[in-house]
Chain A
């Protein structure tokens, strides 16, 4: 008897679930849909190995060895190497110098620049302590904590792989110095081997493109070349990623709260309050504008609180960036509020709103960089991220808090956020016609 009663309860639950389509979607389809989206977003990252790190290379040595090193770096699939700014063929530009490369890193063109020092060819590598070691310099934007490390590792590997003759020659000199000299026959054999390696270097130089995509294991060559890393952006920042995550997490939750707040339209429609309001002197445009402003103000206050917390606990330098913060926060708040209005106007019930907003917001947040740093994403995914508020907002806050850029440099971010917010609000107004007199 008891088993039958329990079985009936189970059966009733399944019958109810089957007939509540929204609950059904939430239970089964939504997790699969979300998993699929995440699979596409992050699942291919391993297949394409480490995301390509953009690197500017400055050659101050101008020797065959330095050029061989650059060719080696160009062959490296995890690096996107540029030796000069992107220009048209009709208007070629000069190679980067230390100064122009540093300026480019400061402006966010690339997260790191490598300077091959003058004298590199004389002492490209060193095995022993106290040996002369020309120092490579990496100019780093510390908002991307990965780029400099990847570049340093790839540099060690490339020096070894792209300059085998040089490495063998210097190594043999070190070896000879340690054992007290080679015999004449040994020296002849060594010279023959070095000539063979030099030929190999020349062959590699003619097949840069052909070797792209070759996978290799990076050996542990720490210390083979001397590298110094200098932060040219964010060198005085105490918590490098705080502004990134304050913006990223903040925008994601703003999207949730805005869609939730806009759901009051659905509640008021159900309760009859919407009819009552619209039968007074309030028009639908008035009503939507009022709710948009309310949502935007709440969103602004939420972000302000988030950044104040970041300033208090994580030492974010908020108070010297107030104008940029206000401009970015106002634009972001407007955009997410309009997004919430659109979601509320296209859905019929709170349950639908919850399901759709969860799917869209989590997807936007994943692709847009709220959950996972954009600089670690594949290039294609970075481009897809440009279709989300999250990425534009994060980029804007990064300009303000990281690059210390003035408000006038926020033009692209502000334009995109305000324009898309306006378009979404107009769409919301269009869909809200269903609540007007039929």
Chain B
């Protein structure tokens, strides 16, 4: 592991702003990440997430503000040594073997000799690729390529790692394997920044979640805190009606909800309010097929705050 400054947070982002011509990509973002935590960064497409990630990696120079890794300015040798990056693209050499890839990226980070050999062995073991160490990357399965892509970002054993959508395009089995790899990193005390388009991944892996939209952090906190901030104690009720019902939209609006096809979505403070809704529907002549009560989750928070599905 790299030597670090323990008195500084793994990552501190202070009022970072970046414009590309007339477009403001990042409009004053500030946050800090706690040591050994997993920080989820969520946002719809075009929200400024990629620019923020590339700024953290030193690949984009902010117009103003500062980003520090364990107290070191981004781009400095110390920051590079403490920061690992797993891009969402398969950023490895397809004609090289797994071991040759890890060797190359290790050397790019200044490793050599026994330290490099040890790091390669650790990465192969962590990514469950030891028996594939001599296999050219292009012949690996999609999941194996993803795991090697992750391993290449950790070859220099950073204390802070940025995983940018590491499960894109992998099958459920490989995704579970990647979750286990991330949890193994957390167990070793590594700090993780995790971006994803899959809400269940953020719910499973992240302690703290930031939602970014229009270049700003619009929500920051634990999953429970975000739900409480957005919905309080409210729950969501979905009532499915017979398809031939008319004026469903007007009825939903009259009861503070919205309609979608033959369903109505309403928000209630207490479960007991369901009975009143069902009585009103029967009284107004609507034929009910089924009723669902759901506590809001992270997906609901995201939709509520951004007005968009995370994967749209």
Cβ B77 vs Cβ A276 within 8 A: no
B41-61 contact mask (Cβ, 8 Å, vs A): 1 or 0:
000000000000010011111
Cβ A437 vs Cβ B85 within 8 A: no
Cβ A437 vs Cβ B108 within 8 A: no
> Which residues of A in the span 323-369 have a Cβ within 8 Å of any Cβ on B?
none
A280 and B109 alpha carbons, distance in the complex (Å): 5
B85-96 contact mask (Cβ, 8 Å, vs A): 1 or 0:
101111111000
Cβ A276 vs Cβ B80 within 8 A: no
Contacts of B271 in A (CB 8 A): none
Contact A271 B89, CB 8 Å, known A276-B153, A437-B59? yes
Cβ B59 vs Cβ A279 within 8 A: yes
**B136 within 8 Å of A (CB atoms):** no
**A47 within 8 Å of B (CB atoms):** no
A278 and B75 alpha carbons, distance in the complex (Å): 10
Cβ B75 vs Cβ A437 within 8 A: yes
Contacts of A217 in B (CB 8 A): none
**A272 within 8 Å of B (CB atoms):** yes
**A179 within 8 Å of B (CB atoms):** no
Most buried by B among A273, A277, A282: A273
Contacts of B91 in A (CB 8 A): 271-273, 275-276
Choose one: B60, B61, B87; the contact of A276 (CB below 8 Å): B87
The chain B residue with its CB closest to the CB of A436 is B59
* Other A-B pairs beyond A272-B88, A276-B105, A280-B110, 4, CB < 8 Å: A276-B87, A277-B105, A280-B80, A438-B59
Question: Smallest Cβ distance from B140 to chain A, in angstroms?
Answer: 15
Q: Nearest 4 A-B pairs (CB), nearest first?
A: A272-B89, A272-B91, A280-B108, A272-B87
> How many residues on B have C-beta within 8 angstroms of the other chain's C-beta atoms?
25
Cβ B108 vs Cβ A273 within 8 A: no
The chain A residue with its CB closest to the CB of B101 is A273
Most buried by B among A271, A277, A279, A282: A279
**B152 within 8 Å of A (CB atoms):** yes
> Which residues of A in the span 275-320 have a Cβ within 8 Å of any Cβ on B?
275-282
Contacts of B57 in A (CB 8 A): 275, 279
A273 and B137 alpha carbons, distance in the complex (Å): 14
Contacts of A278 in B (CB 8 A): 59
Question: Smallest Cβ distance from B26 to chain A, in angstroms?
Answer: 13
A275 and B164 alpha carbons, distance in the complex (Å): 13
The chain B residue with its CB closest to the CB of A270 is B89
Contacts of A437 in B (CB 8 A): 58-61, 75
Chain A residues in the interface with B (C-beta under 8 A)? 271-273, 275-282, 437-438
Contact A281 B85, CB 8 Å, known A271-B90, A437-B58? no
A278 and B54 alpha carbons, distance in the complex (Å): 12
A273 and B59 alpha carbons, distance in the complex (Å): 13
The chain B residue with its CB closest to the CB of A280 is B108
Cβ B109 vs Cβ A281 within 8 A: yes
Cβ B87 vs Cβ A275 within 8 A: yes
Would you list 26 pairs from A and B whose C-beta atoms are within 8 A, ordered by A residue? Answer: A271-B89, A271-B90, A271-B91, A271-B92, A272-B88, A272-B89, A273-B91, A275-B57, A275-B59, A275-B85, A276-B87, A276-B91, A277-B105, A277-B108, A279-B57, A279-B58, A279-B80, A279-B83, A280-B105, A281-B77, A281-B108, A281-B109, A437-B60, A437-B61, A438-B59, A438-B60
A278 and B88 alpha carbons, distance in the complex (Å): 16
Cβ B87 vs Cβ A281 within 8 A: no
Contacts of B85 in A (CB 8 A): 275-276, 279
Most buried by A among B83, B108, B152: B108
A54 and B58 alpha carbons, distance in the complex (Å): 62
Cβ B92 vs Cβ A273 within 8 A: yes
Question: Smallest Cβ distance from B77 to chain A, in angstroms?
Answer: 7
Contact A281 B75, CB 8 Å, known A276-B105, A276-B153? no
Cβ A438 vs Cβ B109 within 8 A: no
A276 and B61 alpha carbons, distance in the complex (Å): 16
Cβ A273 vs Cβ B93 within 8 A: yes
Contacts of B54 in A (CB 8 A): 275
B135-159 contact mask (Cβ, 8 Å, vs A): 1 or 0:
0000000000000000011001000
Choose one: A271, A282, A438; the contact of B108 (CB below 8 Å): A282
Contacts of A272 in B (CB 8 A): 87-91
Question: Smallest Cβ distance from B132 to chain A, in angstroms?
Answer: 19
A272 and B86 alpha carbons, distance in the complex (Å): 10
Question: Smallest Cβ distance from A346 to chain B, in angstroms?
Answer: 21
A280 and B75 alpha carbons, distance in the complex (Å): 9
A384 and B174 alpha carbons, distance in the complex (Å): 60
Contacts of B153 in A (CB 8 A): 276
Choose one: A275, A276, A281, A438; the contact of B152 (CB below 8 Å): A276
Contacts of A275 in B (CB 8 A): 54, 57, 59, 85, 87, 91
Contacts of B75 in A (CB 8 A): 437
Question: Smallest Cβ distance from B64 to chain A, in angstroms?
Answer: 15
Most buried by B among A277, A280, A438: A280
Contacts of B60 in A (CB 8 A): 437-438
Contacts of A277 in B (CB 8 A): 105, 108
A437 and B110 alpha carbons, distance in the complex (Å): 21
Choose one: A276, A279, A281; the contact of B110 (CB below 8 Å): A281
A57 and B92 alpha carbons, distance in the complex (Å): 67
Question: Smallest Cβ distance from B78 to chain A, in angstroms?
Answer: 11
> Which residues of B in the span 70-118 have a Cβ within 8 Å of any Cβ on A?
75, 77, 80, 83, 85, 87-93, 105, 108-110
The chain A residue with its CB closest to the CB of B164 is A272
The chain A residue with its CB closest to the CB of B106 is A280
A275 and B53 alpha carbons, distance in the complex (Å): 12
Contacts of B93 in A (CB 8 A): 273
Question: Smallest Cβ distance from B11 to chain A, in angstroms?
Answer: 15
A422 and B61 alpha carbons, distance in the complex (Å): 30
A277 and B92 alpha carbons, distance in the complex (Å): 10
The chain A residue with its CB closest to the CB of B104 is A277
A272 and B58 alpha carbons, distance in the complex (Å): 14
Question: Smallest Cβ distance from A281 to chain B, in angstroms?
Answer: 5
Contacts of B152 in A (CB 8 A): 276
Most buried by A among B91, B92, B153: B91
Question: Smallest Cβ distance from A283 to chain B, in angstroms?
Answer: 11
Question: Smallest Cβ distance from B179 to chain A, in angstroms?
Answer: 22
A343 and B156 alpha carbons, distance in the complex (Å): 33
The chain A residue with its CB closest to the CB of B109 is A280
A273 and B87 alpha carbons, distance in the complex (Å): 9
The chain A residue with its CB closest to the CB of B61 is A437
The chain B residue with its CB closest to the CB of A282 is B108
The chain A residue with its CB closest to the CB of B89 is A272
The chain B residue with its CB closest to the CB of A281 is B110
